[in-house]
Amino acid sequence: MVTALVFDCDGVLADTERHGHLPAFNATFERFGLPAHWSEKEYGEKLRIGGGKERMASLFDDPAFAAAVGDSDRTEKLVTWHKAKTAAFKKLVAEGRIPTRPGIARIIRAALAEGWTVAVASTSAEESVRAVLENAIGPNQVPVFAGDIVPAKKPDPAIYQLTIDRLGLSPSDTLVIEDSRNGLLSATGAGLKCLVTVNGYTRDEDFSEATLVVSELGDPGRPPIEVLANRAAARIGDFITLDDLRACLGGRE
């Protein structure tokens, strides 16, 4: 059996939302003199919208914002703003301001050593995703499916369906690692099992469809991970192992 492991990026590979995307959005708003600044709470609400350009587009829902910046050439403005935001985000990654989440490098390297197929599937900008991935495991050959290569963002299953098709994967042998309900619904909508590693923004979301829900993947020497839900045959120790991931694909006990 060739097992496949597909990672989301934001909130999974790194806590990018709080430490990367939010400050990058706000820096972009300031750079262009836009009458906007998102607090952590406001950004948590924006995370219900899939995609960075789409979150920026929601600014126009406020009539005062639309009147201040003008509603003409909206598409062109969004492309310009988002390009600047992506550059700001990549700068934060390069400066080491967005640390990789525990267990990510360990699990990816172990899976590759075992001959597993490993990929990243995200509807965030491809440049941003590749920057986070390289920061996590260095220069690599892990395939990345990201950006506007699908017509609909998560929770639509399109990005995972594309990944499965392009890599020729068997859905029954493929496990997705996500961090949000939108990501979970995207994965299960594509017929894939999903392990969820929560973060501060998503911890209280509904993950009823997830095979396993944990606080993080963990690493030796760190405090034991917290298991929030286990619907698999996995017997979790202090950190997630490849055997635990195999158990997630094996179904319930």
- 180 and 62 share one domain: no
Rounded average pLDDT over 85-89? 93
- Residues carrying an active site annotation: 8, 10
pLDDT tens for 111-124 read 999 999 999 999 88
Amino acid 103: pLDDT: 98
Distance CA 199, CA 101 (A): 10
Phi, then psi, of 22 in degrees rounded to 5: -60, -55
| 113 and 216 share one domain | yes
User: What is the maximum alpha-carbon separation in the chain?
Assistant: 58
Domain boundary, last residue among 67, 94, 121:
94
Residues 198 and 131 both lie in one domain:
yes
Structural domain range at position 246: 4-15+99-250
Q: How many domains does the chain fold into?
A: 2
> How large is the average pLDDT for residues 68-88?
93
pLDDT at 2: 65
How many CB atoms are closer than 10 A to CB 193?
Answer: 23
**Residues 47, 201 contacting (CB under 8 angstroms):** yes
User: Looking at the structure, do residues 113 and 78 belong to the same domain, yes or no?
Assistant: no
* pLDDT > 90? residue 185: yes
Burial of 162 (0-12, 13-18, 19+ CB in 10 A): middle
DSSP 123-163: SS-HHHHHHHHHHHH-S----EE-SSSSSS-TTSTHHHHHH
What pLDDT, in 10s, does the model give residues 216-240?
999 999 999 999 999 998 899 999 9
Same domain assignment for residues 112 and 210: yes
